Amino acid sequence: MAPSKTIAEPEDYNVGTYIAYRIEELGVRDFFVVPGDTNLTLLDNLLKNPRLRMVGCCNELNTGYAADGYARASKTRTAVVVIPYIVGGLSILNAISGARSEQLKIIVISGCPPTKVLTEDKATHHTPSPTNKGQALHVFQGVTAASVRINSAETAAEVVDETILKCVRKSLPVYIEVPHDIAGVPCRRPAPLSQNLEVVRQPNRNSEALDAIVGAWNLATSPVLLIGSYVQVSLSRDSIQRLVDALGCPVLCQPDGRWISESHPQYEGLFWPGVLNLDGEKVVMNSDLWLGIGISWSDVHNPALDLNNEKHRLVSMQYGRVDLPDDRIIQPVELDELVLALIDSGISRKAGSFPRPNSNRPARIHAQIKDSNDALTMTTLFTGIQDILREHFTLIADTGDTWFAASHIKLPDGVDFYIQLSYASIGWGVPATLGAQVARSKGRVVLMVGDGGFQMTAQEISTMIRMKLNPIIFLFNNLGYKTETTVHEGPYNYIANWDYTKLATSFLHEPHARPHNLFAGDDVDKESDMPVWAEKIRTQADLLRALQRIERENDKLAFLECCVRPDDITPELQELGKKVSKGLA
């Protein structure tokens, strides 16, 4: 992580410009912001770095979700947010908790009152009581690798570096409070962060882990490789592809771990036991060794599987550790280095070690889209989304039936896919789309989101429009929380039906006074140049026309309100609903 010669270096550093230097050194180019009186000096100094772009969001929760999407999609796999004191911290907490569940590297920087105010036994705005001015510090301890406050300019650089290093080494979020009176105070120049990384690097047990994995592999006759979501934060697609080729065995991905070419001859589809791809599930259950990389064993991932009954055949390679069938745990390990060592170990290929099912691919529920007034259906939507995906695109599915809809879409090579499966926070998808599109400007982000989830975080459409981003949003309007309905019916599952297309195009409007923004030019275009278009899709002909427009106006945000019948849900959601309902009984 040696700093580039092009990194912006001021002649004299203060705490704010020091932090900006570190952000750029990490490879982060954008940071997400909600301003407040406690972080304004900090923001002023961050903006002195000309190679960092500030992305203002509508609220702090959304900054966290946007950072989540950015951390997944950016090359550096790291994101930064800047928020106000306590009110901002408690608002963003839910998003950072979700990022923790995915082991995402997010640096949360919060302004806070001057040090004198923090030490006074006096009521202060944004605090729950005069004696509880560390509320955010306390709550972030449970979801971060470090939760710290800078207490002086003399120790600021050390605190910032130690905290960032914990974020990088542990692949977890961190939280840093910067008092208002310290943000602009001079501090020392930064040494290369890569030097500090080498200092904290611990001896690993990769050699021992490699021997144990190869030993278990050699004893197996019909192994399978299982890929989970955590590979996306630590392993490249190329590494996974090379490992698959070296092993030769069947490969299945968890629904949030689709990190291999889905045209690969060894790919057996998704592993979601009891929910979908029963043929692929048989391949796994008939195997005598499961080699899992970055696998999650949450109840959502495995609603029909008792892991305690399977540990005798599981080798689990996780970030920092390897769990073996004999209950041994080997740690610490460097997962990326261990995978490369496994590839180069000359491990024996296990191709064709047992009979395959007649069909080794999960059935995809698709239907031809007709140029007719036939009603729009979920299956025609699957086909439409499948048809627009291109290399360098990113597909995101918010929590709900869109999870299962996405499972019926084959990802072309070069298309990334993100869902938040274990934490399952409804509404994550809209701001995550913002973050992913900012991080991955080459290609477009395609979002699948239900009307319930959209209503929670809809404001961030305005940020996409303001930044002239061009994602494609498919709003599945099925009139309520259908995921909840399959679990337990009740009046609480129904929401107001918005005019979503009018809403999407209302987020940019002529200001009532000029100049509108003293720090920018006129950012409101004529109506003919609006960077967004929206259509209500009721029929298959509507969908065809909208898909053509997506291709034709590919520089604009495309918003499709897809009006599907409330009872048109995937069979997988129905099945999962039954299992969840039974578990709650």
Measured distance CA(146)–CA(164) in Å, rounded: 9
H/E element holding 60? helix 60-73
Query: Is 478 annotated as a binding-site member?
Result: yes
For the range 340-345, what are the long-range contacts, defined as Cβ-Cβ under 8 Å and sequence gap of 24 or more? Answer: 340/239, 341/206, 341/210, 342/210, 342/213, 342/214, 342/243, 342/246, 343/239, 343/242, 343/243, 343/246, 345/210, 345/214
Could you report how far apart the first and last alpha carbons of the chain are, in Å?
Answer: 52
Contact, 471 vs 556, CB < 8 A? no
Tokens encoding 494: 């129904």
Inter-CA distances, 201 with 164, 166, 323, 423, 567, Å:
14, 11, 22, 30, 54
Amino acid at 400: G
Tokens encoding 508: 């940019």
Under DSSP, is residue 573 helix (H, G, I), strand (E, B) or coil?
A: helix
Backbone angles phi, psi at 175, to 5 degrees: -130, 130
Measured distance CA(100)–CA(95) in Å, rounded: 9
∠ CA 115-117-118, rounded to 5°: 65
Contact, 15 vs 21, CB < 8 A? no
> Which residues belong to the annotated binding site for Mg(2+)?
451, 478, 480
